[in-house]
Structure 1
Amino acid sequence: MLLRSHFKIEAPLLFILVFMFCCLLTMNLQPVGAAEKHPPDVGDKAQEFKLNKLDGKTINLSQYTKKGPVVLMVLRGYPGYQCPICNRQVGQYIAAAAKLKKANTTVLMVYPGPADKLKTRAEEFITGKTLPENFHLLIDPGYSFTEAWGLRWNAPQETAYPSTFVVDRNQKIRFAKISKTHGDRAPVKDILNVLTDL
C-alpha cells in the first residue's frame, strides 16, 4: 500500500521531468529549412550570384567563368575600419596581375557589409590602388552573397570569413581557403599553382 502511494507521487514527477528534458532538446533544434549554410568546398559547383561593381554595373559569376578561371576573394569589408590584412592581400594579388592575366584569370573581390555607406567604404578601400583590367571590386550590401555562400561571420566587429576560391570554366570549385581568423589568407603563389593545372 505504501509502495503504491509512493509510486503515484513519483510517476507524475517523472513525467514532468521527461517532458521538460524533451522540451530542452527541441529548443536547440533548428526548424526545417533553417539549417546553417556551409561554405562551398573543392569539387562543389559554385553557386551563381549577381553583385554590383562600384560603377553600379551588375555582374554575375558565369559571365566570367565562360571566359576562363575566376579567383573569388571574399574580403572582410568594413567591420568598423579598413582591414590591413585585406589591403595587404589585395596588394599581393595586384602585384601578380600579369601572371593571373597570362592564365586568363579574372579576380572578383567581394566587399561585404551593411548597405548603409558600403559603396563609400569600398571606394575608400581601393583609394591609392590601381585595379588591373581583370580585377573587379564588388559590393555585397546586406550580406546577401556572404550568407548564401555560408561565409557570414556573425559576431561584433565582423562581417565575413576572409576566403579565396578558384572557380573553373565549368563553375566547379578547384581551390577553397576559408579563414576562421583575420589572417591565414591564401597566398597568391598557391593560386598560381592551381591555375597551372586548369
Structure 2
Amino acid sequence: MKSGIVWVVGLLFWANAVLAQADPAALAVGSKAPSFSAKDQHGRTVSLEQLQAKGPVIVIFYRGYWCPFCNRQLKQLQDSLPLLKKRNAQVVAISPESAIYVNNTIDKTEASFPILSDVDNSIMQRYKVLYDVDANTVSRLKAIGVDLNAVNASNDAVLPVPAVYIINQKGIITYAFFDSNYRNRPSVKTLLEKL
C-alpha cells in the first residue's frame, strides 16, 4: 500500500514538473538568445545573425492580424522606426500566422520591418512563448471569425505570449518583456531607454 502511494505521489510530481516545463516563461536577461531564421513578408530569409550584424535587435512576438493590441503595438513601432534606427536598432516581428495573414498585418500596420511567419512554431518554442489555446478561447475566436487552425501556418491552435526581447550584437538578451496579459505591451519610450 505504501509503495502504491509513493508511486502515485511520484507520478503526480513528475507530471507537474513536465507540465510546468511546457508553460511559457520569459528567457532571462543576460542569457544567450536562441538563433532563428525564417521567411519575411517578401519571401526573403531573415536570420537573427543578419539583423545583429547591423545593431541591437528588437524581437516582437505577436498573435495575429486579428489582434487589435498587436496591431497597435506594430503600428507604434513603425511610426517610431526613425527613432529606433537612430540607435541602429533592427526590428523584427514573429507570428504563428501564415504568410497570407502576415500581409493582412502589414495592411493594418504599414509595417516595413521584417515580419516572420513561424511556420512550424519552432522560433516560438525556442523563445518559450508558445502555448496551446484552450477550447473556450478557440470557440470565442471562431465566433468572431478567427479560426486559429486555418490562420496559423502550422494549422495548430497555438499563440505566443506577446513578448518583446532586445538582443545585443553579441547575441545576449538585454531586455525582456513577457506578460501573459495580451493587453500589456512595452511602450516605444521604454524600448528606446533599454537600447
2:21 to 36, 55, 75: 36
Larger Rg: 1
Aligned to 1:172: 172
- Aligned partners of 1:24 and 1:108: how far apart in 2? 46
CA contact (8 A) 2:35 2:48 kept: yes
The answer (yes or no) to whether the contact 2:28–2:173 under 8 Å persists in 1 is yes
What is the SS of the residue equivalent to 1:45? Answer: coil
Query: For residues 8-87 of structure 1, what are the structure 2 equivalents within 5 Å?
Result: 16=1, 18-28=2-12, 29=14, 36=21, 38-77=25-64, 82-87=66-71
Displacement of 1:56: 2.3
CA contact (8 A) 2:37 2:45 kept: yes
Identity value in percent: 25
Q: From the two aligned structures, give the one with the greater helix fraction.
A: 2
Gap regions ≥5 residues in structure 1? 1-15
Quick one: which amino acid aligns to residue 175 of structure 1? Y
Task: Please give the alpha-carbon distance, in whole angstroms, between the structure 2 residues aligned to 1:142 and 1:27.
Answer: 31
How many residue pairs end up in the alignment?
Answer: 170
Equivalent-residue separation in structure 1 for 2:105 and 2:90 (angstroms): 19
CA contact (8 A) 1:36 1:150 kept: no
Q: Distance in 1 between matches of 2:122 and 2:49?
A: 18
Q: How large is the RMSD of aligned CA atoms in angstroms?
A: 2.3
Matched, 1:93 2:77: yes
Deviation track 1:1-51 (CA, whole Å, cap 9, x = no partner) reads xxxxxxxxxxxxxxx2x2222222232315x99982643111111111111
Give unpaired runs (5+ residues) of structure 2: 139-157
Q: Which residue among 133, 149, 166 is the counterpart of 1:155? A: 133
Q: Match of 2:101? A: 121
TM-score, structure 1 as length reference: 0.78
